[in-house]
Chain A
Amino acid sequence: MRKLITLFVSLAVLAPAWGVGSAARAQQSQRPREGAARGASNAAATETLIRNATVLTITRGTLANTDILIRNGKIAGVGQNLKASDRARVIDATGKYVMPGIVDAHSHSMSDAINEGTLSVTSMVRIRDMLNPTAPNLYRELAGGVTTLNVLHGSANTIGGQNTVVKIKYGRPVAEFIFPGAPPGIKFALGENVKRASSTVLPGQTRRYPATRMGQEEVLRDAFTRARNYKRAWDEHRAAVARNEKNLIAPRRDLQLEPLVEILEGKRFVHAHCYRADEIIMLLNLADEFGFKIRTLQHVLEGYKVAKEIAAHGAGASSFADSWGYKIEAYDAIPYNAAVMTRAGIIVSINSDSDERARRLNIDAAKMMKYGDLTEDEALRLITINPAIQLGIQERVGSIEVGKDADLAIWTAHPFSVYSRVETTFIDGDIFFDRQQDLARRPELQREREELLKAEVNRPPTEGGAQPGAPRRRPANHHDDDDVDNGEGDNHR
């Protein structure tokens, strides 16, 4: 296998993008050259009319036999018998369903690193600095109707790095992935992962502090105490500047404390990985004491035990649908968690924390109609408008409304049905996944693959090829507590 690595990398980077790229080429005649040169999927179509679909608007109910008009990347109309210009791309969606692009509030997709876990407070590091826009799993997520990801730092330390919210504009440069105007955030983490409970300590190696939940509380208290001092120093300095005092020396800039000050000022969202009821309460109380809000509790598997406290603080909750029991702090996880928290008035989302699982969040949300009897509307919100609210991007995405970004997917059946499948995924009105284009492209890709296999570099040693070197594979699937990528499958959380 390894001898083919070069081939795989070269093919993989290009293959899926080509799949949708054919549309771009088909429409080049109507479009200035630079659109295609950017590798855009089909930037040519500034107008799209999706006709006669069942539309799950999320915020305005389910509309039968309804058209959606997309213009300049935005939803320009939702209704019956909408008219588009002659240049519009028209898609007949009779018998099909349209729902907003799924928002995954907990992802590590396209991350070339997950954990800067050497210190207990790494608020200075940024996920944005190491995003890989060519990760093939992004395309697989698009094929599951996902369009927006909250790419988070891992959970190795109490205060982790800064997150980035992205749209999955696969095939585009990384700068185009960044969700415009999404409020900045940061990852916190509590419990077993922070304790490094499952890491092997080598002989002579010092364990990183903290090793207990006591220490985790203290790390937070110490960090925010320092952040308060730092904020006061800057506040005093700015006041002095405002008073026109002379010969002032500004406080030394501290990249670790700056983001914490932003938290204290309500300018940066805290996404806190947590499991147990006691640590959830600890964090909420500590935040109340220091006067800031926890925007979302992530995983929050025992949230159902302390739902009223979470609701009182005003935190959102982003959980798994039905994962449980994979470690001790997940042994009391129940699939009724989302329902209990929803009933308590908490904004709840269902996330994946997995490149694999992200591909079927529609089914995870559907389960919530069984576990705790959420209504269909409530369950749909768990993967659309609710995570959008949690990320502060609800004015742009999460529902199908005029004026919002045209981020949506066409499904062959109700997306809550296990028999449904995504046909087409749009972001900002452009197609980033289309099953028919994907299928049409396959014979050509197969031929190309066979050609590449004949290349010298891919010949097996038994046939005179070179001995393979060490494999260079990008991490396939990341999770919170991965310190080391072993290239293996799903072992999340």
Chain B
Amino acid sequence: MSLKTFSHVAARSVANVFAPSVTNVVLRGGVGARRMSFALAALLLLSVAPIASAQQASSTMGQQFMSGTPGTYAIRNARIVTVSGADIENGTVVVRDGKINAVGTNVAVPAGAIEIDARGLSVYPGMIDLGTSMGLVEIPQGANPTVDVAEVGDMNPNAQAFYGINPHSAHVAVTRVNGVTSVLSSPSGGIISGQAAFINLLGSSPQEMSVERTAALVVNYPRAAGGGGFGGFFQQAQANPAEAATARDRQVEQLRKLLRDAEAYGRAMDAANSDRTVPRPDADVVLASLVPYVRGERPVVFRADRESEIRAIVRFSEELKLKPIILGGNDASKIAAFLKEKNVPVILGGLFDLPSREDDFYDVLYESAAKLQQAGVRFALSTGDQGAEVRDLPYRAGMAAAFGLSRADALKSVTLYPAQIMGVGDRLGSIEVGKIANLVITDGDLLEARTHIRHLFINGRQVPLNSRHTELYDQFKNRK
């Protein structure tokens, strides 16, 4: 591997991940560096100054790496799995100005288009995971400076994931080269964790990545066992059931009050805007951030797994006229008819969880997707993972298909369904003219673990299939 690649890795680690503990990383890098280049290793080990030069050396590659190559593309002779319609054999997809410009068997290739011969390959829409904290956490354990997922305090509706997402996180490229091209990235702390961002996994800034900057409010609905996202070992051990229930009810009441205040705030602002004689309330960032959610204009993602909690969330949302989405939903299949009746969608995050009860049937979570589908509940599959394992999203869909979900629905559950649940089904989730060109070109079934991804497009840009992992692989695979 080249000096450039190494310095790129090192620079990224140092600059973006480990800024507060430079020594640690420099020493780590030293293992590879000795074989790489004595000069570089010496520079890295001897002073902090080389960090800047390492960054400069990597900037050209880094830029191309992160940005992809925009242009007009014609992907030809491919099997096109549109997801929204029938598969197209021997078809062409034209990508232009970031969008899908044409799809079909009889498509004119625009002059100047870069042609990709996809004979024997399949084109799929990029996959979407709505249960992540992508870019907010680099290393969850033992590296607190790299964790930006949970704010201090219980009510942080104005904490926006958008401002914490590190576009240069190693997780971003690792995830997209496995075909997951968009995610909802959510904060996780307190009761109201903050607002999630819906992003494409390409860009040098959150602005470039963003599809919906404030896509959803994220709430840990208070639980009797510890609740509010801070339920840990100690709280559980101490909780007296009656006291825990009282504490939960108090937290729910706090949540209710804040949301009602936001609604009142919104009405007061409207009144002041339409009538100059009405006094204008003082601006309040917390309440202002909640207004679109209490008006049902944007969804509220509630993290909950248990049946009783999900029921409570649905009732609470009805009362406050929220637009709820359940994230987690391990028990959702048990109340599928109820969720169907209330038209509440579910992001299933626990397909690979162990069943929570000792007497649960072994496949209770494997088959939960099929049960929701049969009941007509809108759902999507998710890894529920902060970042590192989001790339394994397709295998969850595959497992759901092994346990009763149709293969077509399994594919939709990681493409079109999540797009629709987030209200971006008109822009993402299938291969249709006018949609954002997030395309994955494979040598086989997208959901199969053996399948290789051959080409990748995000936002109409062709993205190199590189990641921190391919770089380290290239660095060491031929070491003698």
Contact = CB atoms under 8 A, between A and B. Distances in A.
Contact of B469 (A136, A334, A360, A438): A334
Contacts of A276: 28, 31
B241 A468 contact: yes
A327 B353 contact: no
Contacts of A489: 353-354
Contact of B389 (A323, A449, A476): A323
A490 B358 CA distance: 16
A15 interface: yes
Contacts of A369: 449-450
B190 to A, nearest CB: 19
A328 B354 contact: no
B391 A334 contact: no
A79 to B, nearest CB: 29
Contacts of B241: 2, 467-468
A192 B306 CA distance: 35
Interface string B242-283: 100000000000000000000000000000000000000000
A324 interface: yes
B390 to A, nearest CB: 11
Given A327-B142, A328-B142, A366 B359 contact: no
A137 B388 contact: no
B22 interface: no
A418 interface: yes
B395 interface: yes
A11 B233 contact: no
B361 A325 contact: no
B476 A304 contact: yes
A171 B353 CA distance: 23
Interface string B142-160: 1100000000000000000
Given A11-B359, A304-B477, A326 B449 contact: no
Contacts of B363: 143
A484 B234 CA distance: 11
Interface stretch (B50-58, B84-92, B313-321, B401-409): B401-409
Given A305-B31, A370-B449, A418-B399, A137 B352 contact: no
Interface stretch (B124-132, B133-141, B207-215, B370-378): B133-141
B453 to A, nearest CB: 9
Contact of B476 (A9, A324, A340, A438): A340
A8 interface: yes
Contact of A363 (B395, B476, B477): B395
Interface string A197-211: 110000000000000
Interface string B457-480: 000000000001110110011011
B399 A360 contact: yes
Q: Which of B401, B447, B473 has the most CB of A within 10 A?
A: B473
Nearest to A441: B361
A327 B137 CA distance: 11
B394 interface: yes
A486 B235 CA distance: 11
A11 B358 contact: yes
A276 B391 CA distance: 24
Nearest to A445: B359
Contacts of B451: 370
Contact of A326 (B13, B388, B395): B388
Nearest to A379: B450
Given A15-B359, A324-B388, A419 B31 contact: no
B117 interface: no
Interface in B1-41: 13, 24, 28, 31-32
A360 B394 CA distance: 14
Contacts of A419: 398, 401-402, 407, 447
Contacts of A323: 388-389
Contact of B388 (A325, A360, A372): A325
Contacts of A197: 142
Nearest to B468: A334
A472 to B, nearest CB: 11
A445 B477 CA distance: 53
Contacts of B353: 356, 489-490
Size category of the binding interface on chain B: 35 or more
B358 A327 contact: no
Interface in A304-351: 304-305, 307-308, 322-328, 331-332, 334-336, 340, 343
Contacts of B452: 370
A292 interface: no
A334 B473 contact: yes
Contact of B402 (A277, A366, A420): A420
B140 to A, nearest CB: 6
A16 B363 CA distance: 12
A412 B401 CA distance: 13
Q: Which of A1, A13, A198, A438 has the most CB of B within 10 A?
A: A1
A278 interface: yes
A136 B143 contact: no
A325 B477 contact: no
A69 to B, nearest CB: 29
A126 interface: no
Nearest to A411: B402
Given A143-B362, A304-B476, A322 B392 contact: yes
B411 to A, nearest CB: 11
Contacts of A143: 362-363
A480 interface: no
Interface string A1-15: 110000111011101
A336 B141 contact: no
Contacts of B352: 356, 360
Contact of A372 (B359, B447, B473): B473
Contact of A438 (B13, B138, B361, B395): B361
B387 interface: yes
Contacts of A1: 306
A328 B397 CA distance: 30
Contacts of A445: 359
Contact of B447 (A418, A421, A442, A449): A418
Q: Which of B387, B397, B402 has the most CB of A within 10 A?
A: B402
A264 to B, nearest CB: 30
Nearest to B389: A323
Contacts of A136: 355, 358-359
Nearest to B472: A334
A477 interface: yes
A407 interface: no
B473 A421 contact: no
A476 B407 CA distance: 31
A323 B390 CA distance: 11
25 contacts: A1-B306, A8-B359, A136-B355, A136-B359, A198-B141, A277-B31, A278-B31, A307-B476, A322-B389, A326-B139, A327-B140, A328-B142, A334-B472, A355-B354, A363-B398, A363-B449, A366-B449, A370-B452, A372-B473, A416-B449, A420-B402, A467-B242, A477-B354, A486-B232, A489-B353
Interface of B: 13, 24, 28, 31-32, 138-143, 170-171, 174, 232-233, 236, 241-242, 306, 352-359, 361-363, 387-389, 391-392, 394-395, 397-399, 401-403, 407, 447-452, 468-470, 472-473, 476-477, 479-480
Which 5 A-B residue pairs are closest in the complex by CB-CB distance?
A418-B398, A12-B358, A11-B359, A366-B449, A486-B233
Interface of A: 1-2, 7-9, 11-13, 15-16, 136-137, 139-140, 143, 192, 197-198, 276-278, 304-305, 307-308, 322-328, 331-332, 334-336, 340, 343, 355-356, 360, 363, 366-367, 369-370, 372, 412, 416-421, 438, 442, 445, 449, 467-468, 474, 476-477, 484, 486-487, 489-490
Given A305-B31, A420-B402, 4 more contacts: A336-B473, A366-B448, A418-B399, A418-B449
